[in-house]
């Protein structure tokens, strides 16, 4: 039996001081991550992108309520665009709304994932959220098998619930708060980013 391979992706919050900030990546609607190049120096480094092949990406979104698990991808396919790299997954589904997503960790040490909480407990940082951020900010290695199983189990149990308010209708729902500029044509944005990658490649 192949052991699960889950890599936690720590997503940044929208930058409120940047009037042009749309917080584009991930492009949930197209099962795509990496085209903006924001993670190309660490997780999405084109020289090491092959290490992500077949992994499941657990997207952690930070906010005022702590870090939430907003999505767990199916096993990804990696694409090397030259200057940037991209991962794709199928089937494509929308993430959880950030407000209703399961809690990875908050500063009170509360978590819906006790094994994951235990795995970050001894990280040398002053708060629970800083421990989590420090451990997963640029990590490419999968989490331990028992933690992977826990993440998969909780995500998949929630995903089959027929609760429409659980899932995001637009990408903004998966954020802790709206960005200064909301992208109303995500398909056009995705095609533009792919065209830029083709030009650079």
* Per-residue pLDDT reduced to its tens digit, 148-172: 999 999 999 999 987 879 999 999 9
In which band, very low, low, confident or very high, does the pLDDT at 104 lie, cut at 50, 70 and 90? very high
Q: What is the pLDDT of residue 4?
A: 74
For 10-35, write each residue's pLDDT tens digit: 999 999 999 999 999 999 999 999 99
Q: What is the pLDDT of residue 138?
A: 73
For 127-136, write each residue's pLDDT tens digit: 999 999 999 9
Answer whether residue 192 shows pLDDT above 80: yes
Answer whether residue 187 shows pLDDT above 90: yes
In a domain, residue 176? The reply is yes
In a domain, residue 181? The reply is yes
In a domain, residue 74? The reply is yes
Domains contained in the chain, number: 1
**In Å, what is the CA distance from 154 to each residue of 81, 91, 140?**
33, 19, 22
In a domain, residue 128? The reply is yes
Share of residues in the chain with pLDDT > 90 (%): 77
Q: What is the pLDDT of residue 184?
A: 95
**pTM assigned to the model:** 0.95
Q: What is the pLDDT of residue 96?
A: 97
In a domain, residue 200? The reply is no
For 61-84, write each residue's pLDDT tens digit: 999 999 999 999 999 999 988 888
In a domain, residue 20? The reply is yes
In a domain, residue 42? The reply is yes
In a domain, residue 14? The reply is yes
Average pLDDT over all residues of the chain = 92
Q: Which domain holds residue 184?
A: 6-195
In which band, very low, low, confident or very high, does the pLDDT at 1 lie, cut at 50, 70 and 90? low
Average pLDDT over residues 106-110: 96
Helix (H) or strand (E) holding 62: strand 56-63
In which band, very low, low, confident or very high, does the pLDDT at 197 lie, cut at 50, 70 and 90? confident
């Amino acid at each position: 039996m192949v052991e699960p391979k889950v890599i936690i992706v720590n997503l940044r919050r929208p930058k409120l001081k940047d009037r042009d900030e749309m917080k584009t990546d991930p492009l949930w609607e197209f099962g795509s991550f990496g085209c903006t190049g924001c993670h190309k120096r660490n997780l999405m480094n084109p020289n090491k992108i092959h290490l992500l092949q077949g992994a499941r990406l657990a997207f952690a979104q930070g906010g005022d309520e702590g870090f939430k698990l907003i999505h767990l991808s199916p096993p990804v396919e990696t694409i090397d665009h030259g200057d940037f790299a991209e991962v794709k997954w199928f089937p494509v589904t929308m993430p959880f709304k950030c407000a209703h997503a399961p809690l990875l960790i908050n500063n009170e040490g509360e978590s819906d994932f006790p094994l994951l909480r235990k795995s970050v407990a001894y990280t040398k940082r002053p708060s629970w959220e800083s421990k989590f951020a420090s451990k997963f900010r640029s990590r490419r290695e999968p989490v331990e098998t028992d933690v992977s199983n826990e993440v998969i189990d909780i995500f998949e149990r929630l995903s089959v619930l027929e609760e429409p308010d659980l899932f995001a209708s637009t990408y903004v729902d998966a954020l802790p708060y709206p960005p200064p500029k909301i992208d109303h044509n995500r398909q056009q944005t995705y095609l533009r980013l792919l065209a830029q990658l083709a030009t650079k490649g």
